[in-house]
Copies of this chain bind each other. A is one copy, B any other.
């Protein structure tokens, strides 16, 4: 190897992403100005424009970089046999992904109105439906599909937005996984995979 790759490209780009995400998550996208981002980095607005074409471009790049794990999870899940065990594993991995990209997911959940207007795949809904597709067949009855949706919402609830309910982050995650597991189990058996004692 002839060195550590000539293009470390300066880490400014990543520092911008990091600071921008913090501010976006804290105050919302619209209320965060480029001036504010630049100030916190001790550079000027014009410097931002060297690295990113527009404000929206900053957000898009963060989004693309951080959602890869979830996309990989969806890809992985589609290759597995649709057993209950697979589905429970998806829940566990998804929960872990949420933890890893917490500020981004929190931002996405709290700024849906903004994201709807931007050209970013607004992901919350779309990815959710991809995941639901892994959990239950597309022709499953409505309550069954909704059960799957609710399972993922329970995970989201456990990871952010529920400090009010108390407990540590780990405890909340464990509790969420328990509830999500019950919902998916109910949905799974309802699809006729293994008729339960009903």
Contacts and interface: CB of A to CB of B under 8 A. Distances in A.
Contacts of A56: none
Interface residues of A, number: 45
B146 A172 contact: yes
Nearest to A112: B110
A154 B150 contact: yes
Contacts of A31: 30, 113-114, 117
Contact of A113 (B27, B117, B125, B158): B27
Task: Report how many copies the assembly holds.
Answer: 2
Contacts of A128: 164
A16 B69 CA distance: 45
B27 A117 contact: yes
Interface stretch (A72-80, A84-92, A175-183): A175-183
A43 interface: no
Nearest to A148: B165
Contacts of A129: 164-165
A28 B171 contact: no
Interface in A154-198: 154, 157-158, 161-162, 164-167, 171-172, 175-176, 178-179, 182-183, 186
A105 to B, nearest CB: 13
A123 interface: no
A185 to B, nearest CB: 12
A98 interface: no
A146 B179 contact: yes
Given A28-B117, A30-B30, A112-B109, A146 B142 contact: no
Contact of A147 (B116, B147, B179): B179
A35 B161 CA distance: 34
Interface of A: 27-31, 107, 109-114, 116-117, 125-126, 128-129, 132, 142-143, 145-147, 149-150, 153-154, 157-158, 161-162, 164-167, 171-172, 175-176, 178-179, 182-183, 186
